[in-house]
Amino acid sequence: MAKYDLAPELVDLLKEKFPSLEVLGEGVVAVSKEELLPLMKELKENPSYAFDMLTNLTAVDYPDCFEVVYNLVSLPLNHLLMVKVRVEDKENPAVPSLCSLWGSAIWQEREVYDLMGIDFTGYPGHPTRILLDESFKGHPLRKDFQWEGGRE
Amino acid sequence: MRTQTYILNMGPQHPSTHGVFRIILELDGEVVVKAKAVPGYLHRGIEKLAELRTYPQVIPYTDRMDYLASMLMNWGYVAAVEKLMGIEVPERAEYIRVIVGELSRIASHLVAVGTYSVDIGGFTGFLYCFRDRERVLDLLEMVSGSRMTFSYFRIGGVADDLPPEFFPTLDKFLHDLPSLCDEYDGLITGNEIFQARTKFVGIIPPDVAVNYGLTGPNLRASGVLYDLRKVRPYSVYDRFDFEVPLGKNGDCFDRFAIRIKEIRQSARIIRQAVDGLPEGPIMAKVPRVIKPPKGEAYAEIESSKGVFGCYVVSDGSTQPYRVHFRRPSFINLGYLEKLLEGWKIADVIAILGSLDIVLGEVDC
Amino acid sequence: MGENLFTGIAAWMRTALLDIGTPPLLSEFIVLLVKLLAVIIFVSLNVLWLVYMERKVCAYIQCRIGPNRVGPKGLLQTVADVLKLLGKEIIVPRRVDKIVYLAAPLLVFVPPMMAFAVIPWGNGMAPVEMNIGIFYVLAVASLSTLIFWMGGWSSYNKYSLVGGMRVVAQMVSYELPLVLALLGVVMLAGTLNINDIVNAQRQVWFVFAQPLAFLIYLTAGISEVNRVPFDLVEGESEIIAGPYTEYSGMAYAMYMLAEYANMMVVACMATIMFLGGWLAPFGWTFLPSWFWFFIKVYALIFLFMWIRWTYPRIRVDQLMGFGWKVLVPLSLANIFVTGVGMYVYRAIGW
Amino acid sequence: MFGQGLLKGLAITWKELFTRKVTVQYPEERLPLPARFHGRFELDVDKCIACGLCASACPNKVIQMERAKVGKRQYLTKYVMRIEYCMFCGFCVEACNKDALRFTHIINMNQYFRDKVRLVLVDRPAPEVIPEEEPAEAPEGRAAKPKAGAAGKGKAPEGEG
């Protein structure tokens, strides 16, 4: 199967520009949340990356941190990149919003906020719940989420 | 004269919101000033449920996302787990997957075409599409035993081989399909009233479509060639000869017409897959208890609604640590609020219908 | 065969009444009452049959069988439906304008019933002879607008209100081409009397003399009865059921049934004005005149149903545009051409 | 030309007016079900070794089974499927090594009361010793099976097709 991940030399170029960038694997990089927005701007607007679509945005609740995962696709260059941001602060997790760059972030960030409880700073207004009711307490995809009811 | 806008609550029980979707419309007469989409009425927390189940046990839950194309939902999840475990799927299984996946795509597009016809007001086209969809469902029922929620894919292959009576029935269906498509084209697509209702309505420019992450027929209607089967062929799609229909204007009509064209292309793919169906096993050598190594994988496939992605995180146990589904219907809806502004109530239905959402998938 | 069946009955009744010593005026009145009652009963039953026919036609077009369980071939299905709806509660939501809300479904049958009073069902079979028959029918038929608006406005529901607005806009603007299309016929016939208009078609049906007017009339007529492709009033995929959204039980059924009665009026008028009314084609008088009338009316109704189950719905601004920018100018042009034609015809003096 | 599409639509519906109708008059006529159809479950108690693979394969914890140890063997005393939660995915049937759990073509599983919906496939007391007459019952073969089902039926739905 052909590989479509971002070429390693291009990743190396990025590394020079963004010191916090960390290569986790083929086509997977991690970045500090301070540098997320400039990195994404670079990835979107630099024609040698041209990541024009934010295809997926999600978050994972690890025991020691939250990890926000972005999957980028470049339609003209047909390559992929997964960008991760670790959020150590488990009490008030927040990452910069990407709504200014990609429209698809608007609903996906709302979804992540709703289900995982990660705040997105710079989100137009404030991310509101999207799938759950406004009155819902807690964020169900967190590992410490407790719920009542169920079958047995 | 003092005029006043008013709020019209459309849904969640409105007949044309394709399920339990709600749009709060602020209207000036019949013209939409502002729209607010409220999904979530069908949220079942499938991602959370998946965390409490073993890897194979998630498969039936994926069926219940896009229940109109369950095979493709199965495929998306299974592809991610296979990627995580590094499983090489046997060739015959890949071909079978292509056959049932494309059949599922046809079924899904038939629903999209039919319900769109009824959204615009023509009820007969709806019944023709559903009449023919039954034949697809019969075929898939032969294969999997169920009509809608198949749970047919397994990690490393498929559940069962194609039964012998499947092939003549499929052959007959594929033979009839072009004339059936002509019928839809004659009854719906070619109708001047239908064209007046849909042409240049709800235009999505290509750059906006990409920016908002729209995929599938909605993106291709804007003229952007982005079909994973073509641009990043997965499975065995690189072996088949087919075209990706593209639209010109990105309006409702293009989004609709592209689906009928895709049905024809899917039929081509199925024909080639059946002809080239190799012998061999239908399951890879997979351990009885599936325990992927610690790690993560993100795989995408082209579902009938767009790019269906699945992100699986494993902590080395038998249960996934985290599963996330990138549901195309959900992301396609993200642009709806802006798209509706300035159109009439009737166009709201036309635009929403042309996006072809399935609420099971939107709300997950 | 039965040509004078109904006129005979009327004549027999009149003589019978006179024979038992009823004053002529009173007997005339009683006969008229019986005639009108007969028409009302006939129309009501016919509406039930039309609902059944619609369902069957729609089913056959859609590769289905349609109702076939109640009665032979499902013929009693609509009767069963009506009986069921009679047993249903008529829900009156809070904050509706109660009097208007409940009056609207009662009144909705009145305009078509009034129109039927002057329709000649056969040779000399009009319950009431009126020398301005056409004018009367048009005037009465346009009352429907008001009743739909009553339902839409009083329901206290935004969908109903939108539907009510649409009904007024649509019916008012399509009344114009409807009337103007008939004007061409009236000019040719030189009379407003329905009987005379039918008799004027002995040589040639006006559909051949006025083909454009016929098409305009059909289009505007379908719009007047709010059927696809002009069923914006209901627009079930957009505004749920328009003015009828809040109605339930028999009140809702009245609206539905009235639609068929209105359709019947439009089909009858088209038959009278363009298809030669009760005149037999090609001189095939072996069938009675009223039979020919019904064949023509049902053919037109079938056409309406066929169209309904084929076409999608037009949008409200397109509907208005089509009415005012296409139908009205066309019908005006038609009148102009008719007038010029008649002038030339007379000048040549054939 | 404007209107061509309109006429073509009318032609299509006119043609369909006379095509074969697809309606199936359900209770009287029925469509044939494919061999793999996922209908009601059936359990061949003689084959079942009460291994519990089906229960653990179930994604929704539908299967509740009770077993007793009689002598050396596991003996199935109760097998209840909470069919109201069943997704009919077929994982249990697939997990069964002994081909004891199967799908039938029975589609009618509806009940008037919610507590009657659950499917009781086996409900029997554990014997003191393993009945050795089991082979004696076997020659009856398939005929014996419905009886076994009927014995354990109790609350099982009636009137299935």
- Domain ranges within chain D, ordered by starting residue: 34-151
CA distances to B155, B327, C163 from B287, rounded to whole Å, are 10, 29, 62
C24-61 vs C289-308: helix crossing angle, rounded to 10: 40
Distance (Å, rounded) from C-alpha A129 to C-alpha A111? Answer: 7
Interface test with C, best of B345, B349, B352 (most C CBs within 10 A): B345
Q: Could you check whether the bond before residue B292 is cis, i.e. omega within 30 degrees of 0?
A: no
The DSSP output letter for B222 is T
The whole-number pLDDT of residue B109 equals 92
The dihedral through the CA atoms of B60, B66, B72, B76 has a sign that is: negative
Domain-wise residue ranges, chain B: 44-363
Return the CATH number of D34-151, one of 3.30.70.3270, 3.40.718.10, 3.10.180.10, 3.30.70.270.
3.30.70.3270
Distance (Å, rounded) from C-alpha A66 to C-alpha B152? Answer: 34
In this complex, do A107 and B211 lie within 8 Å of one another by their Cβ atoms? Answer: no
The whole-number pLDDT of residue B106 equals 92
Q: How many CA atoms lie within 13 A of D8 on its CB side?
A: 17
- What whole-number percentage of chain C has pLDDT above 70? 98
D132: pLDDT confidence band, cut at 50, 70 and 90?
low
Q: Could you report the per-residue pLDDT of B124-182, keeping only the tens digit for each?
A: 888 999 989 999 999 999 888 888 888 889 888 888 888 988 899 999 999 999 999 98
Beta pairing, strands D119-123 & D73-81: antiparallel
In this complex, do C306 and D13 lie within 8 Å of one another by their Cβ atoms? Answer: yes
Q: Which two tokens stand for residue D120?
A: 């009781």
CA distances to A149, B103, B110 from B177, rounded to whole Å, are 48, 12, 11
Higher-pLDDT residue of D141, B197:
B197
pLDDT > 50? residue B18: yes
| Residue A29, phi then psi, degrees to nearest 5 | -130, 155
Q: Could you report the per-residue pLDDT of B21-39, keeping only the tens digit for each?
A: 888 989 888 889 989 888 8
Of how many residues is chain D composed? 161
Distance (Å, rounded) from C-alpha B280 to C-alpha A147? Answer: 47
The whole-number pLDDT of residue D155 equals 40
In this complex, do B151 and D87 lie within 8 Å of one another by their Cβ atoms? Answer: yes
Look up residue B85 and give its amino acid.
M
Query: Are residues B30 and B10 in contact, defined by beta-carbon separation less than 8 angstroms?
Result: no
The whole-number pLDDT of residue C7 equals 74
* Complex ipTM: 0.85
Distance (Å, rounded) from C-alpha B350 to C-alpha D75? Answer: 61
In this complex, do D34 and B57 lie within 8 Å of one another by their Cβ atoms? Answer: no
Q: Could you report the per-residue pLDDT of C96-139, keeping only the tens digit for each?
A: 888 888 888 888 888 888 888 888 877 777 777 778 888 888 88
Interface of D to B at Cβ within 8 Å reads 2-6, 8-9, 11-13, 16, 22, 34-38, 57-60, 87-91, 94, 103
Distance (Å, rounded) from C-alpha C147 to C-alpha C167? Answer: 10
pLDDT > 60? residue D139: no
Q: Could you report the per-residue pLDDT of D8-62, keeping only the tens digit for each?
A: 888 888 888 888 888 888 888 888 888 888 888 888 888 888 888 888 888 888 8
- What whole-number percentage of chain B has pLDDT above 90? 20
- What whole-number percentage of chain B has pLDDT above 70? 100
Cβ contacts (< 8 Å) between A1 and chain B: which residues? Answer: 234
Q: Which of A4, A132, A140 is the closest to B232 by Cβ? A: A4
Q: Which of B15, B127, B191 is the closest to C62 by Cβ? A: B127
Q: Which two tokens stand for residue B212?
A: 């908002």
The whole-number pLDDT of residue D152 equals 40
Q: Which residue is listed with tokens 């749920």?
A: C240
Give the CATH H-level superfamily of domain A8-121: NADH:ubiquinone oxidoreductase Nqo5 subunit (3.30.460.80)
The average pLDDT across B69-84 equals 90
In this complex, do C61 and D16 lie within 8 Å of one another by their Cβ atoms? Answer: yes
Chain A partners (3+ C-beta pairs within 8 A): B
The average pLDDT across B62-78 equals 89
The DSSP output letter for C76 is T
Higher-pLDDT residue of B82, A148:
B82
Sequence-distant (6+) residues with CB within 8 A of B145 are D34, D36, D37, D38, D88, D90, D103
Distance (Å, rounded) from C-alpha B187 to C-alpha B185? Answer: 6
The whole-number pLDDT of residue B110 equals 92
Interface test with B, best of A3, A58, A110, A145 (most B CBs within 10 A): A58
Higher-pLDDT residue of B29, C217:
C217
Question: What are A46-53's contacts with CB under 8 Å, separation 24+?
Answer: A48/A10, A48/A13, A49/A6, A49/A10, A49/A74, A49/A77, A49/A81, A50/A74, A50/A75, A50/A76, A50/A77, A51/A81, A52/A76, A52/B210, A52/B211, A53/A102, A53/A104, A53/B210, A53/B211, A53/B213
Q: Which two tokens stand for residue B135?
A: 């034949």
Give the range among B143-147, C140-144, D2-6, D119-123 with minimum mean pLDDT.
D2-6
Interface test with D, best of C53, C54, C57, C60 (most D CBs within 10 A): C60
Distance (Å, rounded) from C-alpha B198 to C-alpha D93? Answer: 48
Is CATH 1.10.630.10 the right assignment for the domain spanning B44-363?
no
How close is the nearest chain B Cα to the Cα of D120, in Å? 22
pTM to 2 decimals?
A: 0.88
Nearest to B359 by CA among B23, B6, B98: B23
Higher-pLDDT residue of C48, D135:
C48
Nearest to B86 by CA among B315, B284, B303, B228: B284
Domain-wise residue ranges, chain A: 8-121
Measured distance between the N- and C-terminal CA atoms of chain A, rounded to whole angstroms: 46
The average pLDDT across B283-305 equals 88
pLDDT > 60? residue D116: yes
In this complex, do C237 and B349 lie within 8 Å of one another by their Cβ atoms? Answer: yes
How confident is the prediction along chain A (152 residues), in pLDDT tens digits per residue? 567 887 778 888 888 888 888 888 888 888 888 888 888 888 888 888 888 889 899 999 888 888 899 998 888 888 888 898 988 888 888 888 888 888 888 888 888 988 888 888 888 888 888 888 888 888 888 888 887 777 76
pLDDT > 80? residue C250: yes
D145: pLDDT confidence band, cut at 50, 70 and 90?
very low
In this complex, do C307 and D10 lie within 8 Å of one another by their Cβ atoms? Answer: yes
Q: Which residue is listed with tokens 């454009």?
A: C212
Query: Are residues B76 and B298 in contact, defined by beta-carbon separation less than 8 angstroms?
Result: no
Written as one string, the DSSP assignment of C107-153 is HTTHHHHHHHTT--SSTT--SS--TTHHHHHHHHHTTHHHHHHHHHH
Q: Which of B45, B210, B334 is the closest to A75 by Cβ? A: B210
Q: Could you report the per-residue pLDDT of D64-102, keeping only the tens digit for each?
A: 888 888 877 788 888 888 888 888 888 888 888 888 888
Give the range among B200-204, B323-327, D3-7 with minimum mean pLDDT.
D3-7
Query: Are residues A50 and A78 in contact, defined by beta-carbon separation less than 8 angstroms?
Result: no
In this complex, do B146 and D88 lie within 8 Å of one another by their Cβ atoms? Answer: yes
Distance (Å, rounded) from C-alpha D9 to C-alpha D150? Answer: 57
Q: How many CA atoms lie within 13 A of B299 on its CB side?
A: 25
Q: Establish if B56 touches chain A: CB-CB under 8 angstroms.
A: no
